[in-house]
Amino acid sequence: MFSIDPNKIKPLIVIEIEQLENKRESLLHNEIQEPYLFIKRKNQIEGYVPIKNILSKGKNQIPSIESLIDEIIPLDNVSYFHKNISLPAIFQIIGEPFSLVNNENGELFGYIPREDVLAELFRKGDQNIDLLKVILTSIPMGIFVVDRDKKIVSYNESGLKMIKNSSENILYTKAEEIFRKEHIESVYQTGSTVLNQLQITGNMGVLVDYSPIFTHNHTVDGMVIIVQDLPMVEEMANEIEYIKDLNNDLNAILTSIYDEILVVNEKGELIRYSDTEISQFWGVELKSLLGKNIIDLERQGLFSPSVTRLVLEQKKKVSVVQETKSGKKILAVGKPVFNEDGVLSRIIIASRDITETSKLKKELRHMKEMTDQYKRELDTIKTKDLFYKKLIYCSTKMEQIMTQVKKIADFSSTVLIYGESGVGKEVIAQAIHQLGKRSKKPFLKLNCGAIPETLLESELFGYSKGAFTGADRNGKDGYFKQANEGVLFLDEIGEMPLHLQVKLLRVLQEQEVIPIGSTKPIKINVQIIAATNKNLEKMVERREFREDLFYRLNVIPIQVPPLRDRPEDIPLLAFHFVQQMNERYDKNFHLTPDALNLLEVYSWPGNIRELQNMIERLIVSADDEVIDAEFVNRFLLLGNDSKKSKPIVTRILPLQEALDSVEEQLILLAMKQYKTTTKAAKALGISQSSVSRKYQRILADLQVSNENVFLH
């Protein structure tokens, strides 16, 4: 039997697990000097926790009861002994950090650290030195005992074989001559154990552990060096080099990958990461997160959801889109890695910043929705009859008008279409014709303001042979007769002279016409559709239009709204006109959404005709097939009302010269718009003779100017 000094038996520091919080201050201020804290629960010692494990959590971070339970080391392999320890008991003490000691009554009252037992056994000159040799010989690992002078004082045969040396060269030799000096010094200076140190020389290859032996005063009194033989150390070294190469290759691969790659262990702790790091996502450098639990970052609200948590819960590959507080969107793919036993050991996470991609995708989806919407609307239009190809609309106002048109088409009632110039009054008239029973009969159009008064009557009613000088010898059928059984569209009806209004009224009432130079009426069956951009009621009040004719025409009034009052039609019309130009010239021009928006806010005083002309001007002038808002803006004068705008003078010039210049421009504009001097005079508020005289003078001046330019 080997007797232990009673002073070597250390008291037990036992605490109920629920009382841990009460011991916080004692632990933080190191008032508990013993190395082990024994945990008791329900009057039963459940296990122990090294004090250093608790304090390693950091100051002010005493672990919770839940986390402490995970730290408890059970007493499964620790035996209970009396003060007198047998030889087998000593073997067990060497294998464990301590053994519990009972008194004579079998009551637990302390524990014996392994170091104290070894210190007693290995003290030089001790009577139990034979016992030490027995122990050392029985251990399969190499054991070398070093005293306080750092000399080897004992060893076993296994150790000699492993280092390939003899007892004569070992006994009382300085340990640093055989083993690493820096590790030996570290043990004596710090009292810490140094483990798993690979030592390879010309004649040996071993794995070495250095463990201190303490005195009563907790000072290092010696050291035990434990050696394990590595017969395949050369192969292991080669394998280590191979693993290093693989590691370098892995790092190179991770560096070249566009995605951010993280390697997380089975606890959710970050153990490796690639050089590619998503900016402004983690808030800190990834290096500072090594060893930290990634799931905790989700709890802190840094991002959501945690792909690590989902993989740990589902044990399968998971793809999620994470969103940060700042609005970043990250596509994260987590893939579990299982060991040979099917237990999850690693999680590989690949993350990519898709914030811009999501934004572009959203914009693309919006563009596609708009394109699909336009396509659907155009497809709907294409399924309609022929007139729908000319009548492009989607507004509620135009839908109401078309509903009315479909009803009118079943009848032959006279229709009066109101609307500004360029709104598509003729197209409405064609729609009535195409949808009605007269669709296979003639549709004739006559602009009452474009034909001189002297010719308008003959064009409308026709004339007989020899009716007047210069007439066709065979006579001529007028528009009414040519449109028989069909539709006659009288555009600009407000421009019709009063003496012709009487004849038109007779045609409407009697459904017959009398050609010029004839007395024989001709029966006709014509549906009259008239159109005007003027207020006929005001003209009736001013006696510029016959009241009876007005009421005869105004049977079915249709008011076509200007384009500015139905802006939703503008994109469709613009797209239609662009397609027409593309098909005509084999081009591929298209308008961007912002360009369409700009077209929508323009007032379009010239309505659809102006829009069509503008599209043609844009396409002819464009350098690129993509026409954007900036380019469109060059051709539009947003917010300007031409009717309210005033001439702008940019330099000082004589008043009369300025007046002449403005007068010339006004007359040219009026003649360009109204074609005849009569209409131009009415628009300018001067006499017809004045317009005629001034216009002739202007043309003569322009001709002379052009000739001078040509001569030069």
Band (pLDDT 50/70/90 cuts) for residue 643 is very low
What is the structure's pLDDT at 451?
85
What one-letter code names the amino acid at 211?
S
Kindly write down the DSSP assignment for every residue of 165-182, as one continuous string. --HHHHTT-BGGGTS-HH
Query: Which of 662, 657, 666, 668 has its CA nearest to residue 696?
Result: 668
- 479-528 pLDDT, tens per residue? 999 999 999 999 999 999 988 898 899 888 888 988 888 888 899 999 99
Q: Provide, for the chain, the percentages of residues in helix, strand and coil under a 3-state DSSP scheme, each rounded to the nearest 5.
A: 45, 20, 35
Whether pLDDT at 19 is above 50? yes
Alpha helices in 383-424, H assignment, sequence order: 396-408
Per-residue pLDDT band for 642 (boundaries 50, 70, 90) equals very low
**Closest C-alpha among 697, 693, 662, 692 to residue 678:** 692
| Gap between the Cα atoms of 579 and 577, Å rounded | 5
User: Could you tell me which residue, 645 or 658, shows the higher pLDDT?
Assistant: 658
- What is residue 517's DSSP assignment? T
Q: Is residue 414 scored above 90 in pLDDT?
A: yes
Q: How many angstroms separate the CA atoms of 164 and 175, rounded? A: 15
Q: Tell me which amino acid residue 118 is.
A: L
Query: What is the percentage of the chain residues whose pLDDT exceeds 90?
Result: 20
pLDDT in tens, 524-543: 999 999 999 999 999 999 99
pLDDT at residue 221 tops 50: yes
The DSSP string of 465-496 is: TTSSTT--TT-EE-HHHHTTTSEEEEESGGGS
* Model confidence at 191: pLDDT above 80: yes
Amino acid 617 reads R
User: In which band, very low, low, confident or very high, does the pLDDT at 35 lie, cut at 50, 70 and 90?
Assistant: confident
Q: Which residues partner with 334 through β-bridges?
A: 318, 349
pLDDT per residue over 288-316, tens digit each? Answer: 677 778 777 777 767 777 888 888 888 88
pLDDT of res. 113: 77
Which pLDDT score is estimated for 616?
94
Confidence of residue 443 (pLDDT cuts 50, 70, 90): very high
Tokens (6 digits) for 472: 């066709």
Rounded to two decimals, the pTM is: 0.40
- Express each pLDDT in 317-330 by its tens digit: 888 887 776 677 77
What pLDDT is attached to residue 340? 81
The whole-number pLDDT of residue 641 equals: 47
pLDDT of residue 117: 66
> Given a cut of 60, is residue 586 above it in pLDDT?
yes
Percentage of the chain exceeding pLDDT 70: 77
pLDDT of residue 387: 58
Residue 222 has pLDDT above 50, yes or no: yes
Alpha helices in 86-176 (DSSP H): 87-95, 114-122, 129-138, 157-163, 167-170
Which domains does the chain possess?
Answer: 2-117 (3.10.580.10), 136-231 (3.30.450.20), 236-353 (3.30.450.20), 386-561 (3.40.50.300), 564-633 (1.10.8.60), 655-711 (1.10.10)
Q: What is the pLDDT of residues 41-95, one digit of tens each?
A: 777 888 888 776 666 655 555 666 666 667 778 876 666 655 555 544 554 555 5
- The answer to whether 415 and 530 are in contact (CB under 8 A) is yes
For tokens 């050392």, what's the residue? Answer: 136
> Using an 8 Å Cβ cutoff, are 62 and 27 in contact?
yes
- CA–CA dist 678, 674 (Å, integer): 9
CA angle 644, 648, 653 (to 5 degrees): 145
Task: Tell me the average pLDDT of the chain.
Answer: 79
pLDDT of residue 101 exceeding 90: no
